Structure 1
Amino acid sequence: MPAAGNYLRWITLCQALPQIGVYTSIGLGSTVLFLNFCGAQKQFGPYKYILNSFTILGMIFAIVDVIVYPNVHNYNAGFIVFTFVKPFGISDLNELEILLASYTFFYAATIALLSTQFLYRYWGVFAVYKLRYFKRFYWLFWSVFCSYFGLQYALGTLFCFKMDTTFMEYFREEMQYRYDWNISELPALILLAYDPSNGMVRWRNVSGIANSFYIVTTLYGIMMFCGWSMYQRMEEKIQNFSEELKKHQKQFFKALCLQITAPTMVLFTPVFVIILLPFFDLPVSIPSGPFLGLFTLYPAMDSLIGMYVVSQYRQTARKLYQDFRKALESFKRARTTVHYAVPKLSEPYYYGTCIDLLDRFPFEKTAKIILQPQLLTLNYLKTHMADKDYVLEHYHLDIKDLPRFEITPLDANGLRLKNVSFMITGLLIMFIHYFVILYCGLRMNHNICDALNKMSQGQQKI
């Protein structure tokens, strides 16, 4: 017989997989969002919002997994979902059980949004007029759609899989033997298909399984229907499309084929095995936690599939790389020339070259307005040690230990052109912004009466 606590090594694996998943999901997801932001999604239409939303939701799902670290153990006619960690210092068992249930919310919401992707691509080929349901205020419906399945899964899990005395007695020895833990002190959600005393079906737990099975099969069914229909009829429907649109549709279909294969292996099959195994009442003792650890790998896999299949991502990445190299070479030339020719004026030239580098990227104008002052600050406000004695005397701190920026226009050596340049440029930026506000306000005050006379009553009120 294995030694007591022999499944504790699986806990290490259950915590390692989510950590790998969260780093890869955030890394690849951030790359997808960056490429989308830089122009890869220009030809995607409303589909870009689904892609961005799914990427962000996948990263959140991976983060929640790392916070909760859920584990599963199947034993004969039951299973238990539990955690050994106490996130945010929470020690109350009921609150920890709510956190476990919140994990299922993000799981269900993620696969609901994935099914929405399939539905969009299906309508994009066979019912283009229905794509209007992904525009404007219709987006609220899809938010409610994903939230509905997430809440139904989470609430069903919380209320139907509540720990009770019968289950505690059934699992007490098993949990003590396998994990060296008292089940009474463990936050957990449970399923016991049959009452061990009389063999009767425990309908409360079965209704929870029915709820989970309904949600998973419904969403998976949408994906299978859309995917199979596109496989059977897509070639015929896109004959009249332009070559560029045909290429996009085929790429997205290829991506969807991979996207339905990956969740089948990573998201759906493990769930079916875990929730259906207790109904066979087999004499098994399985640490099923690593199956849940695979869930967090899916967002990273989805991002990788999208970047691999859809050519716009590769084209955008290639263009960004080429632009970055050109801008970097320009920056180096400007830095070398100015540094040796006019040392005192080098920093303003560095700043101008950084702005040129920023302009080479297809960011939105708003983002450029936000980033330019940050570049200004990073270029001009290099740390200075002029106030180290003052800081030490009044705050009893060594200035070297403080993260800081300093504005010191004058020191013992005279005028510090770097800081003066920052002050002048910063004041100029604020003056321009204030002038725009003041000008618009004065013009509105001067012309508003004439303009209002040309408007309707409702517009005048606004």
Structure 2
Amino acid sequence: MPTSYLLSSITLNFGIFAFFTSLTIGLIVIVLTLFGVRKIFGTYKYLMVIFTSLSVVLAFTETLFKPNLHFYNSGLVYFALSSAFGLSKKAMNMVLAAYAGIYSLTISLLAVQFIYRYWALIGLHYMIYFTGFRFIIWFVYCFVFGFSWCIGSYFLLQMDQDTKDYFQQDMRFGYNVAIEDIPAFYVLYFHPKDGSIRWNSVMYTASLSFIMTMQYGIMVYCGWNMHAKMEQTMQSFSNTLKRHHRQLFRTLVFQITCPTIFLFSPLVIIMYLPFFGIECSFPAGGVFSAISVYPIMDSIIVLVVVSEYRVVVKRMWDSLFGNKSLRNFEILKIVYN
């Protein structure tokens, strides 16, 4: 079995494990947010539920359709080794483009959460944009970026003669496939013969860079300003409300660090590496494994950092296993004494 194929198989199997883990923990967070935690309320409650659900959908799509990446010198191949459910190659290309769109939706909705927390803390007069029909603004905001990434993937990265000639030998050697037979998109920044710029790939990467920079910039800006202005703004708050806001702020701090590691950094490295023209060939499907891990980490952050969730989880655990655990402990004391 080719090494690239073997590594891709390992990555895909890990993605399955990541999905079921993210589904389990995500469902716990959703149920607790809707029915267990009373101090998370209003629009933010539904933002959390929608975001957690979307993150699980992202992991589910990765597990179901198994997108993959392969890096080769000055280019990338974004592909799937097989068609799920007997879908045609064209249909699978649409699925691959849709997966990219869901990723964009996820990071855009994450940025919206930061905007909500920032305005809730230091700009209450702006909160009208999260109430009533104005809430649609944020759905449109996320949809525009998700749709742009999806359409860009589908129309700017189609195979042509240059990409076919450039990638076919390496893909056959690494995965034992003919690239004309598999659903795939191709990023190739420079013409293989004369080194001229291939503008389709450059335009695609530029659009991705704009989307990611905008969303990440919003997160960092809101997070930093919340840190700088939090103490001054919360002087008039009750102790309970102060503690609640600090917990949510710590959650958002972790929610900057976590997507930096699992959502942004891997993709940025892979997308920009071909610009340097490094002569090497390796599977980069681990990017999707990192993306699949993100929903798990995000849900764990919420459960661990926000005390209201910890209290509810502990109460549920005690109600289910507390008495049994206590009896077992007493039995052990009797046996060993």
* Stretches of structure 2 lacking an aligned partner (at least 5 in a row): 325-337
Which residue is 2:29 aligned to? 32
How many percent of aligned residue pairs carry the same amino acid? 35
Q: 1:59 aligns with which of 56, 59, 78?
A: 56
Work out whether residues 35 and 313 of structure 1, in 8 Å CA contact, stay in contact via their aligned partners in 2: yes
SS of the residue aligned with 1:239?
Answer: helix
Work out the CA distance in 1 between the residues paired with 2:294 and 2:2: 30
Work out whether residues 58 and 110 of structure 1, in 8 Å CA contact, stay in contact via their aligned partners in 2: yes
User: How many angstroms does 1:109 deviate by?
Assistant: 0.4
Q: Kindly report which structure 2 residues correspond to 1:54-453, keeping only aligned pairs within 5 A, or say none.
A: 54-90=51-87, 92-322=88-318
Work out the CA distance in 2 between the residues paired with 1:212 and 1:50: 24
Aligned length: 324
SS of the residue aligned with 2:247?
Answer: helix
Work out the CA distance in 2 between the residues paired with 1:96 and 1:43: 39
SS of the residue aligned with 2:201?
Answer: helix
C-alpha RMSD of the superposition: 1.7
Which residue is 1:362 aligned to? none
Relative contact order, higher structure (CA 8 A, sep 6+): 2
* Amino acid aligned to 1:36: T
SS of the residue aligned with 2:235?
Answer: coil
Work out the CA distance in 2 between the residues paired with 1:41 and 1:106: 30
Change (3 A) 1:41 1:281: farther
User: How many angstroms does 1:127 deviate by?
Assistant: 0.2
Work out the CA distance in 1 between the residues paired with 2:9 and 2:184: 18
Work out whether residues 255 and 298 of structure 2, in 8 Å CA contact, stay in contact via their aligned partners in 1: yes
The answer to whether structure 1 residue 7 and structure 2 residue 1 are counterparts is no
SS of the residue aligned with 1:7?
Answer: helix
User: How many angstroms does 1:155 deviate by?
Assistant: 0.4
Work out whether residues 34 and 45 of structure 2, in 8 Å CA contact, stay in contact via their aligned partners in 1: no
Work out whether residues 118 and 222 of structure 1, in 8 Å CA contact, stay in contact via their aligned partners in 2: yes
Work out whether residues 14 and 71 of structure 1, in 8 Å CA contact, stay in contact via their aligned partners in 2: no
User: How many angstroms does 1:59 deviate by?
Assistant: 1.2
* Amino acid aligned to 1:243: N
* TM-score, with structure 1 as normaliser: 0.68
Change (3 A) 1:326 1:294: closer
Q: Deviations over 1:27-86 (max 9, x none)?
A: 001101121232304443321011111111111111111111111011111000011121
Work out whether residues 33 and 52 of structure 1, in 8 Å CA contact, stay in contact via their aligned partners in 2: yes
Work out the CA distance in 2 between the residues paired with 1:235 and 1:205: 46
**Which portions of structure 1, spanning 4 or more consecutive aligned residues, are displaced by more than 2 angstroms?**
41-45, 317-328
The answer to whether structure 1 residue 44 and structure 2 residue 35 are counterparts is no
Work out whether residues 82 and 182 of structure 2, in 8 Å CA contact, stay in contact via their aligned partners in 1: no
SS of the residue aligned with 1:74?
Answer: strand
User: How many angstroms does 1:285 deviate by?
Assistant: 1.1
Work out the CA distance in 1 between the residues paired with 2:10 and 2:322: 45
